[in-house]
Amino acid sequence: MKLAVYTTYCGVTERATLNPKTIDKRYPYYLISNNENYLDTISRSFGFNPIFLNSDVNSCPTLSAKQSKVAKILPHAFQELNQYDYLLYYDDKLELNLDRIEETIETLEVFNSPIAFRKHPTIPDTNVLFDFAESMYQWRYRVDWETLIKYITEEVEAGFKLKANRYFGTGVILRNMRHNNAIKINELWYEHTMKSSAVCQISLHFARQRFKDKFLTLPENIAKY
């Protein structure tokens, strides 16, 4: 089993949020960033393998959030990660608990699943509109509110549902990169994110409806703030 853990940060150093306590020496860790100085400092200080994302550093939180989606959603685009069978993404503010990660990977294999997420920690229902409402409290998302409304409206008009059996958060993502649909899911999700907003949970909600594969649920205790 070849597993790598990775996270990403795009933007100015002053806004960086990495939780350095998260390193588990049983697995290789990667940090993907467009900020070369930050990337070098974190790599030398905490043991992350650095991957440079070739995009301009910007102080705009909205633009930086969108830049970070390249690493978050398209890990297969990075040569350094292509040697691994499984990839675990996590939000850099989280602290991981990987004691059950091998058991979780076995579950992916049993169900022939390409991907797994945690249940969203705060959305009280399975309706995507709750996430839309919650995201509007954050300025980096609110600036795209018209585009996001247009996107949701078009998806519903095309026959896709506002509700799901389970609404996922995207702070932790486990991928089976050997699965036939892993890259297809990544690329469609990214396409939907770029045409909607940086609230990638909303674009995931609609993109996943195009696939018959079972999207699994990760253990709640796999990460904490």
Phi, psi (rounded to 5 degrees) for 160: -90, 155
Phi, psi (rounded to 5 degrees) for 163: -105, 155
Q: Which one-letter DSSP state was computed for residue 83? A: T
pLDDT at 183: 98
**Cβ–Cβ under 8 Å, residues 89 and 75:** yes
Grade residue 196 by pLDDT with cuts at 50, 70 and 90: very high
Domain ranges of the chain: 3-120+167-196+212-224
Above 90 in pLDDT, residue 119?
yes
Tokens of residue 84, six digits: 């691994």
Grade residue 20 by pLDDT with cuts at 50, 70 and 90: confident
pLDDT at 123: 81
The residue count for the chain: 225
Q: 2: closest CA among 86, 76, 79?
A: 86
pLDDT tens digits for 151-170?
999 999 999 999 998 999 99
How many Cα atoms sit within 13 Å of 43 on the Cβ side?
16
**Cβ–Cβ under 8 Å, residues 80 and 30:** yes
This prediction has a pTM of: 0.96
Identify the CATH assignment for 3-120+167-196+212-224 out of 3.40.50.300, 3.90.1300.10, 3.90.550.10, 3.30.1360.200.
3.90.550.10
Secondary structure class of 27 (helix, strand, coil): coil
